[in-house]
Each structure stands twice: as structure tokens, then as C-alpha cells.
Amino acid sequence: MVDHESDRLLPIANIGRIMKQILPPSAKISKGAKGDNARVCHRVHRVCYRRGLRQVSQENRKTVNGDDICWALSTLGFDTMERQ
């Protein structure tokens, strides 16, 4: 079985819908921009999960939970972003 990067990314259609919620209605989004955004989201997710996993290991737990991911996001500076 061949492992393609696109198999691990969020679906492009979902990325497009999320991007359209923020952009003006007249904005056009290229397929390349959607793909780039999907890759960035995947990388941020991977970094957050790894940081959360490190936290779990230090506390001798076995499961990464939502609080661990939120902690990881805050250590990366995402806690200052406005929630929508």
C-alpha cells in the first residue's frame, strides 16, 4: 500500500468551506491555496499532538485528551487567537 500525504490531510472541500467562512463572499480560493492550508493544518495538528503526548508521558498517563491539546496550543501561542 502506498502512503500518500493527501490521504492524511483534511478533505480539500472541508478546508474550502472553513476558509470561505472567514473570507469575503466575493473571494476566490485556488486549489493550491486549499492544499497548502490542509498541509499547514496537518503539521500544526501533528506538533500539538506530539506536545500533548510529551505532557502525558511526563505525568505517567496513557491517553492524550482535549486538555492536553489545548495546553499544547497555548504553548504555541494559539491561546491569544480570537475564537469564532
Q: Which domain holds residue 45?
A: 5-80
Reported as a single tens digit per residue, the pLDDT across 20-47 is 998 999 999 999 999 999 999 889 889 9
Q: Is the pLDDT of residue 82 over 60?
A: no
Q: DSSP character for 23?
A: S
Name all contacts of 46-50 with Cβ < 8 Å and 24+ positions apart: 47/72, 47/76, 48/72, 48/73, 48/76
Task: Provide the number of structural domains found in the chain.
Answer: 1
For residue 71, what is the domain's CATH number? Answer: 1.10.20.10
- The answer to whether the beta carbons of residues 53 and 64 sit under 8 Å apart is yes
Q: How confident is the model over 57-74, as pLDDT tens digits? A: 999 999 999 899 889 999
The whole-angstrom separation of Cα 33 and Cα 45 is 18
pTM of the complete model beyond 0.85: no
Residue 2 banded pLDDT, cuts 50, 70, 90: very low
Q: pLDDT-based confidence at 6, cuts 50/70/90?
A: low
